[in-house]
Amino acid sequence: MGIIERPRRLRSTAKLRAMVRDTSISPSSLILPIFIREGLTNPKPISGMPGVLQHTKDSFKSEIDRAMRAGIGGVMIFGIPEERDVMGSQALNPSGVLSTAIREARNIAGDDLVIAADLCLDEFTSHGHCGVLDTQGSIDNDATLKIYGEMSKILAQSGAHMVGTSGMMDGQVGVVRSALDSAGFTDVLILAYAAKFASAFYGPFREAVESQLEGNRNTYQQDPGNIKESMREVRLDVAEGADIIMVKPGIAYLDILYATTQAVDVPTASYIVSGEMAMLEAAAAQGLIDRERAILEVLSSVRRAGASVICTYWAIEAAELVRKNFA
C-alpha cells in the first residue's frame, strides 16, 4: 500500500500505549475541596455531588485522615459559619469555623498534606457576595481588600500552608502578599484564582456553602466570552506575587488554561467545579457514560492543557483510579 507512517503501531498493546503516553496524573497534584459546617451534628450530603458532604467537626477529621492516606497533594478548606452578617465578620474570627478547621487539619496532617484555605467572604456575608458593600449596595473593592489582608493573617496563623484568593477583587494578591509578609508569613503561598469566570457551573456549590447570594457576581467575576481579559488578570496576579495561578471552572475553560500555562513561569491549576462534577455524575448515574473512564479523561484533559495542580472533588477516588490505570 506504500504507507510509510503507521501511527497505529504505537497503539498496538497496552504496554506500548502506556509507554508513549505524554500525560500522567499523579495523586500528589490533586487537591480535595472540603466543606465544614459549624454546629452540624451529622454530615450532610450535597445534591448532585455524590460523596461530597458538609462535614461536622468529627467527620472533617476523618476526611483529612482519608486524604492523607490516599496520598493526595492537599485539601482546600471551605468553612460555613452559623452566623453571617453584612461585613462577613466571622471570617476574621480566629476561633471561627474556618480557622479552627485549619488548625485541626494541620494538627492531623502536619506537612503531609498541603493545607489550603479559601480566602473569600462569600461564605461569611449575609448577602453572599465575595466582598463588602458600599452605601449604594455595590461591591466596595478596596474596603474588601483590607479584610482579605486581615483574613490572610488569621488563616496563616491557624496553620494554612496556602491561601486561595478566590474573590476576584482587583489588587487582592498584592494586598494579601504584603499582609502575609508584614506578619512574618513569607512562606505562606498564594494560590491565585486569576481567571475566575461568572459561571453557571457553580450551582451545586451554592448548596454546599448555603450561599445567600441574590443576583450575580458579574461585576467581579469574568465574562465567559473573554480570553484577553484573562491574560490581563493572570499578568497582574503574577506581578503581585501569585505562587500558583488558577483558572476556574476547569472543563469549560481549557483554552484559557492552555494559554495561561504557555504565558507564565509559575505552576498553573485548574478547578473542576461542582457543576462540572454534577454533570458527569448525572450522566453516569443514567448509564450514559462510563463514570471512571470519564473521570480519568477529564483529569487528563486538564493536565494536557497544562495544569500542574487540579482541584477536584474526585481527588481521593482519582488517586486510586490513577494507581489502577496508570501504573
Q: How far is the CB of 130 from ligand PBG (least distance, A)?
A: 6
Using CB under 6 A as the binding rule, whether residue 281 contacts ligand PBG is answered as no
Residue 15 is among the residues annotated as catalytic for this protein: no
Catalytic residue among 61, 196, 228, 324: 196
Using CB under 6 A as the binding rule, whether residue 152 contacts ligand PBG is answered as no
Q: How far is the CB of 173 from ligand PBG (least distance, A)?
A: 15
Question: HEC states along the chain?
Answer: CCCCCCHHHHHCCHHHHHHCCCCCCCHHHEEEEEEEECCCCCCEECCCCCCCEEECHHHHHHHHHHHHHHCCCEEEEEEECCCCECCCHHHHCCCCHHHHHHHHHHHHHCCCCEEEEEECCCCCECCCCCCCECCCCCECHHHHHHHHHHHHHHHHHHCCCEEEECCCCCCHHHHHHHHHHHCCCCCCEEEEEEEEECCHHHHHHHHHCCCCCCCCCCCCCECCCCCHHHHHHHHHHHHCCCCEEEEECCHHHHHHHHHHHHHCCCCEEEEECHHHHHHHHHHHHCCCCCHHHHHHHHHHHHHHCCCCEEEECCHHHHHHHHHHHCC
Residue 57 is among the residues annotated as catalytic for this protein: no
Q: Which is nearer to ligand PBG, 98 or 108 (CB)?
A: 98
Using CB under 6 A as the binding rule, whether residue 202 contacts ligand PBG is answered as yes
Q: Which is nearer to ligand PBG, 275 or 306 (CB)?
A: 275
Cβ pair 45, 37 in contact under 8 A:
no
Q: How far is the CB of 5 from ligand PBG (least distance, A)?
A: 43
Q: Which stretch binds ligand PBG (CB under 6 A): 37-45, 54-62, 79-87, 118-126?
A: 118-126
Q: Which stretch binds ligand PBG (CB under 6 A): 40-48, 59-67, 116-124, 179-187?
A: 116-124
Q: Which of 120, 156, 160, 319 is in the footprint of ligand PBG by CB under 6 A?
A: 120
Q: Which of 75, 274, 299, 309 is in the footprint of ligand PBG by CB under 6 A?
A: 274
Q: Which stretch binds ligand PBG (CB under 6 A): 12-20, 24-32, 115-123, 295-303?
A: 115-123
Q: Which is nearer to ligand PBG, 73 or 128 (CB)?
A: 128
Q: Which of 97, 151, 273, 295 is in the footprint of ligand PBG by CB under 6 A?
A: 273
Query: 255-288 in b/e burial notation, b at 16+ Cβ within 10 A?
Result: ebbbbbbeebebbbbbbbbbbbbbbbbeebeeee
Using CB under 6 A as the binding rule, whether residue 220 contacts ligand PBG is answered as no
Q: How far is the CB of 198 from ligand PBG (least distance, A)?
A: 8
Q: Which is nearer to ligand PBG, 250 or 306 (CB)?
A: 250
Using CB under 6 A as the binding rule, whether residue 166 contacts ligand PBG is answered as yes
Q: How far is the CB of 242 from ligand PBG (least distance, A)?
A: 16
Measured N-to-C along each axis, helices 141-158 and 172-182 cross at an angle, to the nearest 10 degrees, of 40
Q: Which of 63, 104, 122, 233 is in the footprint of ligand PBG by CB under 6 A?
A: 122
Binding site for ligand PBG (CB under 6 A): 118, 120, 122, 130, 166, 202, 205, 217, 273-274
- Residue positions annotated with a catalytic role: 196, 248
